[in-house]
């Protein structure tokens, strides 16, 4: 752990490492409280850096012995503290350093370094966990070849795994112990090191690569859970094939392993050849996992697998370059999902998530560039900005360069940088080189925080048959960046004629509109199109070609027209969202002014037309019927946010939709209530989603009849998706059926922690005043534990992040509960504590009463006598003035 006294780390201060490590030989004797770690490092001076003393990172380590070139090192020749090992005058040539440290995996509640998930020994080394195992130059530009010997009691850890290929295994003669030796021939940074030991079951399969090599596949899970790993295995094989087909990338070791563990700070980790997963993203059965769970597993298995090339073979030079692997790999997993499922539906989901998390982050005190220039705690930069906005930047490259140009750039990147620790500049240089373009201005996307605001004004000249778009871009100030420069914005567009067809785009200046994309580069510019006899409707930022906030002079009729006719499915959805958000914002303002809310018959009929359009895929219709969330409305309001008014306006709209579309929704529900056996495929999931959205809207309007249907669906469902959807609908209504279902759910699933997480989250999200007390009570439930991140996220996280009205209670009690929890958790698990603290990221946008309460809680945390760097960093940035 970094300490409070540590200085911030700056990109501008980067220096190459003075010492390189060629090989690491680890010998780890697992023990619950005293695991002995021997590390033999073959060090050599870096020819590209000035000579310097040797300084290795540590974190809470105890050094037991140290040898240099085989001889014990005298005490005056080195200095060891828990977080540093230095040798002032090391040899000026390659040498071997042998270290012995002892660590206590059972006491490791931070879940970084070597720890125990239940009884299983496992490691988590990204970003700086390896230094909690042994002293090491723990930075990603030091890449070494690792050999790992693990030894353990056979009864305690019959399964012993590490990165690479197994080279040797056997019993330790004369003892009850055994060992295994793994060798990873690919040089890698320490953050990709992993080992696992425990009592584990597994499923096995095989993959034949494009060049005909056989790769053994293994997924390790808690014994008895093997069948729940079948879907993950299927996803893995599809991901491996896709990376060959879409990017020409083949897997490189003889074996690829995934281990599911019950306690994990994040989603999963791409350790070379040995991915370690939060079990939530591996285990699935129709009875215990929802369609959403299946989709998450598919995407995350793919994401971690794709890191093998984007992250592992080519890694990051330093942690400022985190988006180099994360943004690119998110882009790759999104493309995989789009190919496996439905491209427009995937894009809608990705953009919803981007707006819900990244746009909000970018508009508040925690805003930072996709490539930050300074950090106090790197763990706080695994953010929606680095991941999701990072992926959007890669997507824009593809839009700008076209599919072929993009692929050429990627190929060059793999060819040039394989085996290296690279930078964002090097990545972008490959695209510039491969397509012969100047991408200097494009680099601003990495350096400037904030979401660009683009305003478009369309005018039409009937006499000249021209159509003019005046487009202005503005990037708002963000912390530390008061002044901004214009960015390169690829704006995909169409001009839709009154008959619904796209007009050919002919620019008056004769320049072509390549692939239908206008490339904005200046604060304001004008584009004139010719041969436009009638006023068209502009369909702008099609497919969400750039991550911007767009305003245009489109009226409600134009938006309804686009909802019905746009050839771009994303913009059909977007038009409906814009209509709904506009209505909701008007009504929130009316409510706050004590005036009546308005109805929008036009919006309702536009939705009705979507529902009646049988050519549309059910998953798309379901997305169209899903109204903007309370958080969406809060974000669009941007200031003086009153969550109660938003809730009331949104509820009224849900009722209005249910009323207006009642017969159609009932028809959908009937038509899609099939009794075919459950299958997690995207089409079936889309039908279930539509059916359940219809039920939820019916319950919002007609009350008891729909409640009875939901209660019946809850009781008779043969899969978790339908059961969960039914109970979620019930949970929004204070009816007797609700409590019965909640009690029944616990009885059914109490042996299954991942399902009990759904039970926690469901109750935490109930938008009623009694919820806070219920959540507090549930923190004392035997199934809850502050020691398990999944439990914390599903109860406390769901309350703080999903329940807008109750977290933001006017009396501030929701905020106080969150800060109490954070303070209780911080000493145990700073990473999860600081994650929870980000629930305050929009506090400045609240109406004054709540803003004052939130600020008081933030100050209470800031004043706590001892805080982790993680939480301190989040709190101080949240409170900072600029
Ligand atoms: N690198 C992981 C991923 O995105 C995320 C992670 C970060 C996991 C830090 C653990 C710790 O795939
Ligand atoms: Zn990742």
CA angle 858, 859, 863 (to 5 degrees): 120
Could you read off the pLDDT of 261-303 as tens digits, one per residue? 999 999 999 999 999 999 999 999 999 999 999 999 999 999 9
- Taking CA atoms, 457 is separated from 35, 79, 538, in Å, by 67, 67, 10
Return mean pLDDT, the chain: 97
- Starting at the edge strand found earlier in the chain, the sheet holding 537-540 runs 517-520, 489-496, 537-540
- The atom of ligand 1 lying closest to the CA of 379 is 9
Query: Cα(718)–Cα(48) distance, rounded to whole angstroms?
Result: 63
Task: Kindly report whether the peptide bond that precedes residue 395 is cis, defined as omega within 30 degrees of 0.
Answer: no
Q: Residue 710 phi/psi, 5° resolution?
A: -65, -40
Confidence of residue 3 (pLDDT cuts 50, 70, 90): low
Return the best residue to mutate from 123, 191, 266, 835 for the ligand 1 pocket (most ligand atoms within 8 A of CB). Answer: 266
Which residues form the pocket of ligand 1, taking CB atoms under 6 Å from any ligand atom? 124, 126-127, 265-266, 268-270, 303-304, 307, 326, 382
Residue-level length of the chain: 882
Nearest Cα residue to 26 out of 118, 199, 144: 144
pLDDT number for residue 702: 78
Could you read off the pLDDT of 410-440 as tens digits, one per residue? 999 999 999 999 999 999 999 999 999 999 9
* 186 touches 272 (CB < 8 A): yes
Q: Residue 267 phi/psi, 5° resolution?
A: -80, -50
Residue showing tokens 């900005």: 385
Protein residue with its CA nearest to atom 7 in ligand 1? 126
- Starting at the edge strand found earlier in the chain, the sheet holding 255-261 runs 201-208, 214-221, 255-261, 274-278, 268-269
**DSSP string for residues in 608-621:** HHHHH-TTS-HHHH
Query: Cα(775)–Cα(151) distance, rounded to whole angstroms?
Result: 43
Which one of the ligands is nearest to 266 CA?
Answer: 1
Which one of the ligands is nearest to 265 CA?
Answer: 1
Token pair, residue 2, equals 């970094």
Could you read off the pLDDT of 229-254 as tens digits, one per residue? 999 999 999 999 999 999 999 999 99
Confidence of residue 793 (pLDDT cuts 50, 70, 90): very high
pLDDT at position 1 over 60: no
Give residues with Cβ within 8 angstroms of 17, minimum separation 6. 46, 49, 137, 139, 141, 142
Distance of CA 413 from the midpoint of ligand 2 (Å): 18
pLDDT at position 528 over 90: yes
DSSP state of 248: -
Query: Cα(370)–Cα(402) distance, rounded to whole angstroms?
Result: 23
Residue showing tokens 């005490």: 75
- The atom of ligand 1 lying closest to the CA of 311 is 1
Protein residue with its CA nearest to atom 2 in ligand 1? 269
- The atom of ligand 1 lying closest to the CA of 307 is 12
Protein residue with its CA nearest to atom 5 in ligand 1? 269
Catalytic residue list: 304
Q: Which residues pair with 202 in a beta bridge?
A: 220
Confidence of residue 512 (pLDDT cuts 50, 70, 90): confident
* 40 touches 74 (CB < 8 A): no
CA-based R_g, the chain, Å: 28
Which one of the ligands is nearest to 267 CA?
Answer: 1
Query: Cα(684)–Cα(672) distance, rounded to whole angstroms?
Result: 10
pLDDT at position 5 over 80: no
Distance of CA 267 from the midpoint of ligand 1 (Å): 7
The pLDDT of 544-563, averaged and rounded, is 98
Could you read off the pLDDT of 167-220 as tens digits, one per residue? 999 999 999 999 999 999 999 999 999 999 999 999 999 999 999 999 999 999
pLDDT number for residue 634: 98
Which one of the ligands is nearest to 301 CA?
Answer: 1
Residue showing tokens 């009504």: 587
* Helix or strand run (H / E) with residue 101: strand 95-103
How are the residues of the chain apportioned to helix, strand and coil, as percentages rounded to the nearest 5? 45, 20, 35
Return the best residue to mutate from 269, 271, 274, 835 for the ligand 1 pocket (most ligand atoms within 8 A of CB). Answer: 269
Nearest Cα residue to 386 out of 444, 322, 333: 322
Query: Cα(92)–Cα(413) distance, rounded to whole angstroms?
Result: 34
**DSSP string for residues in 26-39:** EEEE--SS-EEEEE
Query: Cα(882)–Cα(879) distance, rounded to whole angstroms?
Result: 9
Distance of CA 259 from the midpoint of ligand 1 (Å): 14
- The atom of ligand 1 lying closest to the CA of 382 is 7
Secondary structure class of 261 (helix, strand, coil): strand
Query: Cα(468)–Cα(505) distance, rounded to whole angstroms?
Result: 12
Distance of CA 770 from the midpoint of ligand 1 (Å): 36
* Strand pairing category for 201-208 and 195-198: unpaired
How many other C-beta atoms lie within 10 A of the C-beta of residue 132?
26
Dihedral sign, Cα of residue 811, residue 815, residue 819, residue 821: positive
Nearest Cα residue to 618 out of 669, 557, 582: 669
How many other C-beta atoms lie within 10 A of the C-beta of residue 691?
24
Helix axis angle for 720-731 and 704-716, nearest 10°, is: 150
Query: Cα(273)–Cα(308) distance, rounded to whole angstroms?
Result: 8
Token pair, residue 706, equals 């729909």
pLDDT number for residue 674: 84
Confidence of residue 659 (pLDDT cuts 50, 70, 90): very high
Distance of CA 258 from the midpoint of ligand 1 (Å): 14
pLDDT at position 93 over 80: yes
Q: Which of 108-117, 573-582, 672-681 has the lowest mean pLDDT?
A: 672-681
pLDDT number for residue 703: 76
pLDDT number for residue 826: 98
Return the best residue to mutate from 194, 264, 282, 382 for the ligand 1 pocket (most ligand atoms within 8 A of CB). Answer: 382
- The atom of ligand 1 lying closest to the CA of 300 is 12
Protein residue with its CA nearest to atom 1 in ligand 1? 269
Nearest Cα residue to 835 out of 868, 865, 810: 868
DSSP strands (E only) in 426-523: 453-461, 466-474, 489-496, 517-520
Could you read off the pLDDT of 322-360 as tens digits, one per residue? 999 999 999 999 999 999 999 999 999 999 999 999 999
Could you read off the pLDDT of 843-863 as tens digits, one per residue? 999 999 999 999 999 999 999
Could you read off the pLDDT of 697-727 as tens digits, one per residue? 999 997 799 999 999 999 999 999 999 999 9
- Taking CA atoms, 126 is separated from 164, 256, 308, 683, 749, in Å, by 18, 19, 15, 36, 33
The pLDDT of 389-418, averaged and rounded, is 98
CB pairs under 8 A, 24+ apart, for 740-746? Answer: 740/711, 741/711, 741/714, 744/714, 744/715
Within 480-612, where are the H helices? Answer: 556-565, 569-592, 601-612
Percentage of the chain beyond pLDDT 90 is 98
Protein residue with its CA nearest to atom 3 in ligand 1? 269
Distance of CA 628 from the midpoint of ligand 2 (Å): 28
pLDDT at position 363 over 80: yes
- The atom of ligand 1 lying closest to the CA of 265 is 10
pLDDT number for residue 296: 98
SS (H, E, C) 629-646: CHHHHHHHHCCCECHHHH
Token pair, residue 765, equals 């999200």
Query: Cα(618)–Cα(621) distance, rounded to whole angstroms?
Result: 5
SS (H, E, C) 709-730: HHHHHHHHCCCHHHHHHHHHHH
Return the best residue to mutate from 190, 268, 327 for the ligand 1 pocket (most ligand atoms within 8 A of CB). Answer: 268
Which one of the ligands is nearest to 189 CA?
Answer: 1
Q: What is the b/e burial string over 457-474, where b = at least 16 CB atoms within 10 angstroms of the residue's CB?
A: ebebeeeeebbbbebbbe
Distance of CA 34 from the midpoint of ligand 1 (Å): 27
Query: Cα(447)–Cα(372) distance, rounded to whole angstroms?
Result: 7
Query: Cα(199)–Cα(220) distance, rounded to whole angstroms?
Result: 10
Token pair, residue 477, equals 């100030």
* 164 touches 194 (CB < 8 A): no
Region of residue 703 (left: phi > 0; alpha: psi -120 to 50; beta: else): left
Give residues with Cβ within 8 angstroms of 521, minimum separation 6. 441, 486, 487, 488, 489
Could you read off the pLDDT of 599-613 as tens digits, one per residue? 999 999 999 999 999
């Amino acid at each position: 752990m970094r300490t409070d006294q540590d200085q911030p780390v700056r990109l501008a201060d980067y220096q190459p490492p003075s010492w390189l490590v060629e090989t690491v030989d680890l010998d780890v004797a697992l023990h619950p409280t005293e695991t002995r770690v021997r590390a033999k490092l073959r060090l050599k001076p870096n020819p590209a850096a000035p000579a310097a003393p040797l300084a290795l990172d540590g974190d809470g380590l105890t050094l037991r012995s140290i040898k240099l070139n085989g001889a014990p090192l005298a005490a005056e020749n080195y200095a060891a503290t828990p977080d540093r090992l230095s040798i002032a005058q090391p040899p000026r040539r390659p040498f071997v350093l042998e270290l012995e440290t002892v660590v206590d995996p059972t006491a490791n509640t931070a879940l970084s370094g070597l720890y125990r998930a239940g009884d299983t020994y496992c490691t988590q080394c990204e970003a700086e966990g390896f230094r909690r195992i042994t002293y090491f130059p723990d930075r990603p530009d030091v890449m070494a070849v690792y050999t790992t010997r693990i030894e353990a009691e056979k009864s305690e850890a019959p399964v012993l795994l590490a990165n690479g290929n197994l080279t040797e295994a056997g019993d330790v003669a004369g003892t009850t112990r055994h060992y295994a030796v793994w060798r990873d021939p690919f040089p890698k940074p320490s953050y990709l090191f992993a080992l696992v030991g425990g009592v584990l079951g597994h499923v096995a399969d095989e993959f034949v690569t494009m060049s005909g090599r056989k790769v053994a596949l293994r997924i390790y899970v808690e014994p008895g859970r093997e069948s729940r790993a079948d879907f993950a295995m299927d996803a893995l094989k599809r991901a491996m094939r896709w990376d060959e087909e879409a990017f020409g990338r083949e897997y490189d070791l003889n074996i690829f392993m995934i281990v599911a563990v019950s306690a994990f700070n994040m989603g999963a980790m791409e350790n070379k050849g040995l991915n370690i997963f939060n079990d939530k993203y591996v285990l699935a059965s129709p009875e215990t996992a929802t369609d959403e769970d299946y989709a998450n597993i598919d995407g995350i298995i793919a994401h971690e697998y794709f890191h093998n090339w984007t992250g592992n073979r080519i890694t990051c030079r330093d942690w400022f370059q985190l988006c180099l692997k994360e943004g690119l790999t998110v882009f790759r997993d999104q493309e995989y999902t789009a190919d496996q499922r439905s491209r427009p539906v995937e894009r809608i989901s990705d953009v919803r998530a981007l707006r819900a998390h990244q746009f909000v982050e970018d508009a508040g005190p925690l805003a930072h560039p996709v490539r930050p220039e300074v950090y106090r705690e790197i763990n706080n930069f695994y953010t929606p900005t680095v991941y999701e906005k990072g992926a959007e930047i890669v997507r824009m490259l593809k839009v700008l360069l076209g599919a072929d140009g993009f692929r050429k750039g990627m190929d060059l990147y793999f060819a040039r940088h394989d085996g290296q620790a690279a930078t964002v500049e090097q990545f972008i240089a490959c695209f510039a080189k491969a397509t012969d373009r100047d991408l200097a201005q494009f680099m601003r996307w990495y350096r400037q925080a904030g979401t660009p605001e683009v305003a478009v004004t369309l005018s039409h000249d009937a006499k000249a048959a021209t159509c003019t778009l005046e487009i202005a871009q503005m990037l708002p100030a963000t912390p530390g960046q008061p002044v901004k420069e214009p960015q390169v914005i690829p704006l995909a567009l169409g001009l839709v004629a009154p008959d619904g067809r796209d007009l050919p785009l002919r620019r008056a200046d004769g320049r072509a509109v390549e692939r239908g994309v206008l490339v904005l580069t200046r604060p304001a510019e004008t584009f004139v199109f010719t041969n436009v006899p009638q006023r068209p409707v502009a369909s702008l930022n099609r497919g969400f070609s750039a991550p911007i906030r767009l305003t245009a002079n489109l009226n409600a009729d134009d938006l309804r027209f686009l909802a019905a006719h746009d050839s771009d499915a994303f913009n059909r959805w977007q038009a409906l969202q814009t209509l709904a958000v506009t209505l909701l914002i008007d009504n929130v303002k009316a409510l706050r002014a004590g005036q009546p809310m308005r109805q929008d018959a036009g919006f309702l009929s536009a939705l009705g037309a979507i529902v009646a359009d049988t050519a549309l895929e059910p998953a798309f219709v379901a997305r169209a019927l899903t109204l903007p969330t309370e958080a969406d409305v809060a974000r669009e309001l941007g200031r003086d946010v009153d969550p109660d008014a938003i809730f009331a306006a949104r509820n009224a709209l849900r009722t209005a939709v249910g009323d207006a579309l009642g017969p159609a929704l009932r028809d959908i529900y009937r038509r899609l209530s099939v009794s075919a056996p459950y299958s997690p495929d995207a089409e079936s999931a889309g039908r279930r989603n539509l059916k359940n959205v219809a039920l939820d809207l019916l319950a919002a309007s007609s009350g008891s009849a729909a409640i009875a249907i939901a209660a019946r669906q809850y009781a008779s469902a043969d899969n978790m998706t339908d059961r969960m959807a039914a109970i979620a609908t019930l949970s929004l209504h204070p009816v007797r059926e609700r409590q019965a279902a909640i009690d029944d759910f616990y009885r059914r699933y109490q042996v299954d922690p991942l399902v009990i997480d759904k039970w926690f989250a469901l109750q935490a999200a109930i938008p009623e005043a009694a919820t806070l007390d219920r959540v507090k009570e549930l923190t004392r439930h035997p199934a809850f534990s502050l020691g398990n991140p999944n439990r914390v996220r599903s109860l406390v996280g769901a309350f703080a992040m999903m329940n807008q009205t109750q977290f933001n209670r006017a009396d501030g009690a929701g905020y106080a509960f969150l800060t109490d929890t954070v303070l209780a958790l911080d000493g145990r698990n700073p990473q999860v504590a600081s994650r929870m603290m980000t629930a305050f990221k929009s506090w400045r946008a609240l109406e004054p009463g709540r803003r004052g309460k939130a600020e008081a809680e933030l100050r209470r945390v800031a004043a706590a006598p001892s805080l982790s760097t993680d939480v301190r960093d989040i709190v101080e940035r949240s409170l900072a003035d600029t």
